[in-house]
Copies of this chain bind each other. A is one copy, B any other.
């Protein structure tokens, strides 16, 4: 992987040198990352980036600064890879920030300048930032029936106490290897508190699975891990979130990727993921008392109406759920299940959902 990344950066540089040798105006070709070039790929069921590209020219006053910044970021990535280290995107900014000699002009004024340039490079080279040795923020934990190797250390996720294994930013095969797995499915849980409940009950032992929490919207590392687990272990992925627009959105990002990172959907998205809950239909189905539901506010209602129109919520069961929620006028959080008893979620709710294959697509 390291070689591939370095080669791609080197080719980018060679291209520029060739243009200079031929007395051309040096330019970099970049995929257009705006909404006009994003589409839903029906066949692969992923949010994808289209074929439109744009050129960033050196001899164009509107492009010159960004051209220079792109070169600086690419050069720094190569330097970091050469040193065999990794760094954070904030460090990248600090390492590159300086005042250009004999001017008052800074290379970068804020991290808001360098972050999009790195995304440009990821898209242009078709590489994850982790492959460029840059780290994104990390959060999330995993426990269950798998032994992994993390940076050369063997970690048994069935023996990780109360904590689980902290999911790093870089989960590429070079860094994280799946050594041995007995897991039959992956359960991705929105909330850490619920993950901890399941971990304390050793849910993953009885049900031979992996439990993962992204602590809210999963970070890139977590989404990439889910994608790898599904594809490499060939096991299904179930997603458990609050029954509210935000929870459904989290599910949709895990499933088909996001508009922002559309150029990475094939590595971050898991189109075969299924939604296990919660739904507003669970309230009557599982006898959840109405006083632990939460009234939808104006923002929720607006968001649900938008979601009804989204192409990936077009399947009938989703249309029914969204309309039911709107009509019922309430949403609910995972913790609402606690009103039925502290172990209701691990002993009743999840086993019944899994047994009946009561999923939304």
Contact = CB atoms under 8 A, between A and B. Distances in A.
As for how many copies of this chain the complex holds, the number is 2
A165 B339 CA distance: 32
What's the dominant secondary structure at chain A's contact region?
A: mixed
B86 A336 contact: no
Contact of A91 (B95, B154, B163, B335): B335
Interface stretch (A66-74, A145-153, A275-283): A145-153
Contacts of A152: 161
A181 interface: no
Interface string A158-195: 01111111111010000100000000000000001100
A84 B90 CA distance: 44
Interface in A74-125: 80, 83, 85-88, 90-91, 93-95, 97-99, 106
Contacts of A201: 85
A328 interface: no
Contacts of A319: none
27 contacts: A80-B342, A83-B342, A85-B200, A87-B338, A87-B342, A88-B196, A88-B335, A91-B197, A94-B292, A95-B338, A95-B339, A98-B291, A98-B339, A135-B193, A135-B196, A137-B192, A138-B192, A139-B139, A141-B166, A150-B160, A150-B161, A153-B161, A155-B159, A155-B160, A162-B168, A163-B167, A165-B166
